[in-house]
Every structure is written in C-alpha cells, then in structure tokens.
A and B are shown apart, each in its own frame.
Chain A
Amino acid sequence: MLRLEGLRAAYGRIEALKGVSLEVRAGELVTLIGANGAGKTSTLKAISGTLRSSDGRILFEGNEIHRLTPREILTRGIAHCPEGRRVFPYMTVRENLEMGAYARADIHGIREDLERVFAHFPILGERLRQAAGTLSGGEQQMLAIGRALMARPRLLLLDEPSLGLAPTVIETTLRIIREVRQRGVTVLMVEQNAYLALRMADRGYVMETGQIALEGKAGDLIENEHVKRAYLGG
C-alpha cells in the first residue's frame, strides 16, 4: 500500500532522513520505533508532505506522492495525527471534527462520517459544544483520532499516540487504534514506548540516526537482543 524507497529529507543542513526504505501493506499495523531524534516523526512528516523530501520516492498504492502537496496527499487517503498538542483547544468538539474534513466537499458524506464517529465515541457526541481544550487527555486523544478519520483515510499516520497520557488512558487509546484497524484502516504508528508498540503491531521497523536499523515481525523484534537492550530496558 505504502512504500518508501531511499527517502532523504533535511531541515536546512541537518539531514533527518538518510535513505529510509520501508513498506506498509494494506490492513497492517506497522510501528516505527527508535530513540528521540532518530527520524521517526520526520518520516511521517515526509509521507504526509509537511516535510519535503530531497531524494528517494514515496509510493502510495503504486503512485508517486512525494511531490504532492499535503492536501493532495490527504485527499488520496493518508491522514496524519501529529505529535504534541492534539486538538484545536478553543474550537468545540464538533468544529474539531469538521476541521478533519476540511479538504472534503461532500456534505452528505461528512455528515455520515460525523455520525459514525459519534457512534464510535459516544462521549464526543455528548460534548459536541464543549471547547476541545477542556476535555481530558483521553478524550482529546479520541477526538484527535476521530478528526483524522473524518478525512476518510485508508492509511492513518499516528505520531506518539501514548505520549503524555496516563496508563489507563493509554489502554483506551490502544483499544481505539485496534477498532480503527477493524474498520479496515491501515495504520503506521510512531512510538517511543517500544514495548507497547510491538505488542500490538504486526510488524515493526527500528530507526537509528535517520536510517532503518532493523525490521521484522513485531513478535520477533520483542525477542531480539539488540532491541531488548536498547529499547525495552532488559
């Protein structure tokens, strides 16, 4: 579904991606793990077009997308949940969800998808007119994922979904991600919490200094000595 071939990208003179190649197949949940500054977030940004790649190719369903604008990439079916602050704090829950469909024009489809998000996350339906910034961390995470789904993506890019959340909220988040998969959405997830990520993913890639250092089935990576030592603390 998605293939990166020797992707390079830089912030000014600092090269963040030094030839990244990876693949995500339809229906999979693939995770990208690695230390801070390894290039995980940059990889997602390059895919969604918010970071221009300088070399290499990105193929989505067989077509090159690395020269498209973020908006064109979004309309082709790739939605990106960036890390950090996840919602528009002063917009209401409803407005946040509508922002997810900003690039779409089919009013009926948007309404349908809104209903579907409410069916999925009833709590959001109850808080429609509340400012998103007043939601709890878990609710904001739900809203962020719900908003990404409003673009009707076939591939969802999740950046650090567990960052800054309480353990019980992380459990909720993982449940949401599993549900998203069951709806047939393919997921590429960046995580610092390697154990968490590998436990739920099908396959994983380990990034080190802008390159893919290791790849394999999630189950195998958990058992891998290098991964254990470097990322699982054991």
Chain B
Amino acid sequence: MKRIGPGLLAIVLLTVPLWVGNPYYVHVLIMAGIFAILALSLNLLLGYTGLLSLGHTAFFGIGAYTSALLALRLDWPPWVGFLAAVLVAGLAGYGIGKVSLRLRGAYFVLVTISFAGVIYLVSVNWMELTNGPLGLPDVPPFSLGLPGLFELSIRTKPAAYYLVLAVAGAAYFLCHRLVRSRIGRGFIALRENEALAESVGINGTRYLVLAAVVSAAMAGAAGSLYAHYTRFVSPEVFLFTYTVTMVIMVVAGGKGTLVGPVLGAFLFTALPEALRAVTSWQWQMLLYGVFLILTVFFLPKGVIPTIETWLRERRASP
C-alpha cells in the first residue's frame, strides 16, 4: 500500500487533462497547484520554524509583478522572468528576515503585515511602473525556449496544468529534502525550544533568515506562474485575504507536515468553487465559514496529523 499509493497518485495527477474534459475543472486544479506552492512555502515558516508570516502574499505579489513587468516592459522571456521573480522575492525575504528576525515572535508578524501593506500602497500609487489600481493587462503566457531558436508557448489549459504541476512537484521535493536535512532538523529544534537549540550550536537568526529566504522565493515562483497564467496582475495580489487563505490551507491541512498544505490548498481552492456551483454567493461565503469552523473544531491539528494519529492508534491496538 505504501508503495502503490504515491505511484497511483502520480499517475492520476499526470493524466488529469486527458480524462477531465471540462477546462473549468482544469482551471480549478491549476489554481489549486499555485496555491499548493504558496501553502508549501508558508508551511516552511509556520510549520517548521514556527514563524507566522502574515504578509506572505507580499512575496507572491512581488513575484507576480516582477515577472509581469519584465515581460511587458523589457520583453524578457517569461522563464527568465520566472527566475527573476524567484530571485527578487527571495531577496525581499532576506531583507525582511534580516530586520525582523533578531526580535522574532510578534515582531516578525508585525513586520510582515506592514511589509505587505506598504508594498500594496506602492503598487497602487506608483502609476508609471505598475499602472496603479488598473493593473497590468496582457501579460504574455508562459513560454519555454530561447528567442529566435525555438519556443514552446503555454497557452492551453492542459499545458499550464503541466507547468504548474512540475513547479509544484519541484517545490514539494525541495521542502521534502530541506526538512529532512540537518538544516531542517535545526528549524524544528528552533521551533520546539529555541534556548536549547542555541545551546546545541544552532545559530537561530541565521537559520530563520534562511527559512524566510527559501519560503519567500517559493512564493515568488507561485506569483510568476499566476501572472503568466491569468495574464493579469493588479494590486489585489497584495490583499490580506490571500494571506489568510494560505494560512487556512496550511493549518487545516496540517502544519508541519509535507502533504497537509498541499491537501489544504486543494480543498480550499475547490470548496469555494463547488459552493459557487450549488448555491448563490451569499450562501457560498456563509457555508465556507461554517466548513472552516467545523474543520478547526473537529480537526484542530489539521487533516493529515489527525489521520496519522488515527493510523498509529489503529496499528497499536489491532
């Protein structure tokens, strides 16, 4: 079972566009994939180091704007813009980490919230660069290849699906390797008992800044994918609701697990869409809220940790 499970999942994920005919469903899956990258990125901080970034959408938005602006203003190929988005968001993460992580805790939360607020205001007011609240339309679709030689443009939904799947897979793999490495052990030690972690020779500030950089860079990657997929970027990407959605996905799925945030991203992208299909928008938000409360009430640790505990107990008492 342990061997078959992941293989089966891989086959399902890889063949989705073949048997899901409705492009709308593929669209929902693409958005779920983008959010999965965001949730994985937030989980690296919230789940493994215990740091709550309440401005995480800032890194997402920075990635989206970087990629979109480079494509629109400088005509850079989107895959270069993607790399630049990762880099710029990572640098922003470094800056935020450097200034706030000497103090940790509530200060980090406050700095991240303010950062997202400031960036939002910049994106609204710097008309010349960002086109303000009107946003940036006509962002070119993602394409792979070298200009003049060959080019693979990703215009169709299935193509975008595979691109997002590949990046999400890479993000998952990166997180997997990282949290199981020595460095990851250091993150967990800092989360569990900082004084003790320092006493065994872990440099707290350095490790936490590293976590912030990796996390921000991943969010930047998601932003770039989002910009070239929806082909429109506006200051809305910096809104608090995006951050809240990410936190919900991580917490409901199970923070501090690898699969949890991915599952959370899928559930909480699909749920509003499903509700939209069956009811009017007033009921949609209300039911979403009820579902959220029920999740927190019955699965306070998140879906995945609850399943893990259940399995362990079942094995212990046959």
- Interface of A with B (CB < 8 Å)? 48, 50, 69-71, 74-75, 79-82, 84-91, 95, 99-100, 102-103, 147, 151
Contacts and interface: CB of A to CB of B under 8 A. Distances in A.
Nearest to B199: A80
B199 A88 contact: no
A71 B203 contact: yes
Q: Do most interface residues of chain B lie in helix, strand or loop, or is the interface mixed? A: helix
Interface in B179-227: 182, 185-186, 188-189, 192-193, 195-203
**CB-based closest 4 A-B pairs:** A103-B201, A71-B201, A88-B192, A80-B199
B192 A100 contact: no
B195 A70 contact: no
A89 B191 CA distance: 10
Q: Most A CB atoms within 10 A — which of B188, B198, B200?
A: B200
A99 B185 CA distance: 8
B198 A70 contact: yes
Interface string B131-170: 0000000000000000000000000000000000000000
Contacts of A70: 198-199, 201, 203
A87 B188 contact: no
B186 A82 contact: no
Contact of A88 (B182, B193, B198): B193
Contacts of B200: 74, 99-100, 102-103, 147, 151
Given A99-B189, A102-B186, A69 B196 contact: no
B199 A91 contact: no
14 contacts: A50-B195, A50-B199, A71-B202, A74-B200, A81-B199, A87-B193, A88-B188, A88-B197, A89-B193, A99-B196, A99-B200, A102-B200, A103-B201, A147-B200
Contact of B199 (A69, A75, A82, A89): A82
Contact of A82 (B192, B195, B202): B195
A50 B198 contact: yes
A74 B201 contact: yes
Nearest to A79: B199
A74 B182 CA distance: 17
A70 to B, nearest CB: 6
A82 B201 contact: no
Interface of B: 182, 185-186, 188-189, 192-193, 195-203
A174 B189 CA distance: 27
A209 to B, nearest CB: 24
Given A82-B195, A82-B196, A88 B201 contact: no
A83 to B, nearest CB: 8
Contacts of B193: 85, 87-89
Contacts of B182: 102
A86 B197 CA distance: 11
Contacts of A100: 200
B196 A85 contact: yes
A80 B200 CA distance: 8
Q: Most A CB atoms within 10 A — which of B182, B186, B195, B196?
A: B196
Nearest to A103: B201
A86 B186 contact: no
Q: Most B CB atoms within 10 A — which of A70, A89, A151?
A: A70
A91 B201 contact: no
A168 to B, nearest CB: 25
A87 B193 CA distance: 8
B188 A91 contact: yes
Given A74-B199, A102-B182, A102-B189, 18 more contacts: A50-B195, A70-B199, A71-B201, A71-B202, A81-B199, A82-B199, A85-B195, A85-B196, A86-B196, A88-B196, A89-B192, A99-B197, A100-B200, A102-B186, A102-B200, A102-B201, A147-B200, A151-B201
Contacts of B201: 70-71, 74-75, 102-103, 151
Contacts of B203: 69-71
Nearest to B256: A90
A86 B192 CA distance: 11
A40 to B, nearest CB: 15
Contacts of B189: 88, 91, 99, 102
B195 A91 contact: no
A52 to B, nearest CB: 13
A229 B280 CA distance: 78
Contacts of A87: 193, 196
A75 B201 CA distance: 9
B195 to A, nearest CB: 5
Nearest to A80: B199
A179 B195 CA distance: 26
Q: Most B CB atoms within 10 A — which of A80, A87, A147?
A: A80
B192 A90 contact: yes
A89 B193 CA distance: 8
